[in-house]
């Protein structure tokens, strides 16, 4: 059985065939799907999906760094309202993204650290989005770190040295379809990381693994991610499924 630790299956990309996508996920052996939030506009579809199949979907709440604009404090107030109103399993996805736009760096840092405080006060895990910002993210984490702070670096694409820094903080590393991309170099890095530090994810609808690369991603493709990790570690896919599922259950408190 697999856990997809990061999927946006509630998004409009699945509006025409979401039921079929869910059926394929269940047939592939997925027992839980973690749903990270983007901003205030995604809360309703995320929670509506959560309520459709109790025990399959596990919602997170957070403000994605690319959604941090001039009105980010208003966004955070809306999220705080929902945080008190519904049950969530973590804060995410949050972080810093300097790939698309560097002009809101200070706002992204404030949003990031504010949401870290939410997580620490509730002993929630955080799901961190890092893009062209590993140094900045680690700098903020080290400023506020204590033993109540834990989580996962989602969609990891970094170096072995960066992975070791993540592990040193006690965080997990989220691996998705990028590990199957021939020129990413990620499989060589993952080969050197003990699977007890890993979560598997799809980040669907994005980052579909080979042979689906360039198409819409979906939760059932988690099997391809697990198979690649199993291949580079020379173990069975069942072992990777068991280890990563245990990791996810411990992190999110299922």
| pLDDT tens-digit series, residues 91-131 | 999 999 999 889 999 999 999 999 999 999 999 999 999 99
Q: Is the dihedral of CA 251, 67, 158, 121 positive or negative?
A: negative
How many Cβ atoms sit within 10 Å of the Cβ of residue 122? 13
The mean of the pLDDT values for the chain is 97
Beta pairing partners, 128: 94, 153
- Domain residue limits, the chain: 2-252
Q: Supply the Cα-derived Rg of the chain in whole angstroms.
A: 17
The strand ranges marked E within 147-220 are 150-154, 172-175, 198-200
DSSP secondary structure code for residue 40 in this structure: G
Full-model pTM = 0.97
Q: Does domain 2-252 have CATH number 3.20.20.140?
A: yes
Alpha carbon distance 107, 81 (integer Å): 20
How many Cβ atoms sit within 10 Å of the Cβ of residue 51? 10
DSSP secondary structure code for residue 132 in this structure: S
Q: How far is CA 63 from the centre of its chain?
A: 13
| pLDDT tens-digit series, residues 43-70 | 999 999 999 998 999 999 999 999 999 9
What's the average model confidence in pLDDT over 167-183? 97
| pLDDT tens-digit series, residues 139-150 | 999 999 998 899
Residue 2 has pLDDT above 90, yes or no: yes
Residue 254 has pLDDT above 90, yes or no: no
């Amino acid at each position: 059985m697999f856990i997809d630790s990061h999927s946006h299956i509630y998004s409009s990309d699945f509006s025409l065939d979401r039921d079929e996508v869910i059926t394929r996920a269940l047939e592939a052996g997925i027992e839980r799907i973690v749903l990270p939030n983007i901003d205030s506009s995604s809360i309703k579809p995320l929670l509506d999906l959560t309520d459709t199949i109790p025990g399959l979907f596990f919602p997170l709440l957070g403000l994605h760094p690319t959604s941090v604009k001039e009105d980010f404090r208003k966004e955070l107030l809306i999220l705080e309202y929902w945080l008190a109103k519904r049950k969530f399993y973590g804060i995410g996805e949050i972080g810093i993204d300097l790939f698309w736009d560097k002009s809101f760096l200070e706002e992204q840092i404030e949003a990031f650290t504010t949401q870290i405080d939410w997580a620490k006060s509730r002993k929630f895990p955080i799901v961190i989005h890092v893009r062209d910002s590993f140094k900045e993210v680690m700098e903020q984490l080290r400023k506020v770190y204590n033993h109540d702070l834990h989580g996962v670096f989602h969609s990891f694409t970094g170096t072995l040295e960066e992975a070791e820094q993540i592990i040193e903080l006690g965080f997990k590393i989220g691996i998705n379809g990028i590990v199957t991309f021939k020129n990413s170099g990620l499989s060589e890095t993952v080969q050197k990381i003990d699977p007890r530090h890993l979560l598997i994810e799809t980040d669907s609808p994005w980052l579909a693994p080979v042979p689906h690369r360039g198409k819409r991603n979906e939760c059932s493709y988690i099997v391809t991610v697990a198979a690649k990790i199993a291949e580079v570690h020379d173990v069975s896919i069942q072992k990777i499924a068991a280890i990563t599922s245990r990791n996810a259950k411990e992190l999110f408190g299922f």
